[in-house]
Homo-oligomer: A and B are copies of this chain.
């Protein structure tokens, strides 16, 4: 007695998948049907069904078809393949967690009505680990002044300030990657611009030499600041360039 053969549609319904998927599995050689009629029709036997069952099981565990082929053909051990896969799932989970945290932070920042970068650069003072240091160096009123100044701006003023901020940051990044020395003309020009930019944010008050040095250190030490300059390396470049510039400042 020869085995019972089933059409592609029957098989798809039995296994809870689609005929298209079965054709795909055939195309990639994962599940060739037991027989192919002279009309080109695919006919599947019991062994095919069993294999399909295992394919679908592994699929719903999230394995790729290539992996599944390896496992079913004995090229790779089931347990090892699944443990690798579990490891991958865990890393994906971790990645999603981080992404979700970032998104939630961003939402929170947006809801406070402050642009992310402006928030980080201006409002960041009061919730970093450097809060005490910052306060004793500039005093709480310095931040408060900056804050009230910011809130008093019109939307277009805010946009314009943000544009300036963005441009400055990007120029710093460009400079740090150009290979130019921190005491080069270009870097020092940027340092001058940076001081000007700071004084805008501080309502016209210009930073003292010590404040400038302290700011530089903070850029390097706090990754949230450093990120604006293209990471630690960029921040280091900015700090050094500002330090050079500070020497030329009037006391």
Chain A interface residues (CB < 8 Å from chain B): 10, 13-14, 16, 46-47, 49-50, 53, 57, 60-62, 78-79, 82-83, 85-86, 89-90, 92-93, 96-97, 99-100, 102-104, 106-107, 110-111, 116, 163, 166-167, 170, 173-174, 177, 230
A50 touches B103 (CB 8 A): no
Expressed in whole angstroms, the Cα–Cα distance for A103 and B85 within the complex equals: 8
Do the beta carbons of A100 and B79 come within 8 Å of each other?
no
Q: How far is the CB of A197 from chain B (nearest CB, A)?
A: 15
A10 to chain B, nearest CB (A): 8
Residue of B nearest to A61 (CB): B103
Chain A facing B: main interface SS: helix
Given contacts A14-B170, A90-B100, A96-B89, contact A83 B107 (CB under 8 A): yes
B residues near A230, Cβ cutoff 8 Å:
16
The CA-CA distance from A14 to B167 in the complex, in Å, is 11
Q: In the complex, what residue of chain B is closest to A104 when comparing beta carbons? A: B86
Say yes or no: B89 contacts A93, CB within 8 Å.
no
Q: Which residue of B lies closest to A173 (CB)?
A: B14
Cα A166 to Cα B14 in complex, Å, equals 12
Contact present for B61 and A79 (CB under 8 Å):
no
CB of A107 within 8 A of CB of B93, answer no
Asked if A170 contacts B103 (CB within 8 A), the reply is: no
For A83, A103, A107, which residue has the most chain B Cβ atoms within 10 angstroms? A103
- 11 new A-B contacts, CB < 8 A, other than A62-B99, A93-B93, are A13-B177, A14-B177, A46-B166, A46-B170, A47-B163, A49-B170, A57-B116, A86-B103, A86-B104, A89-B100, A93-B100
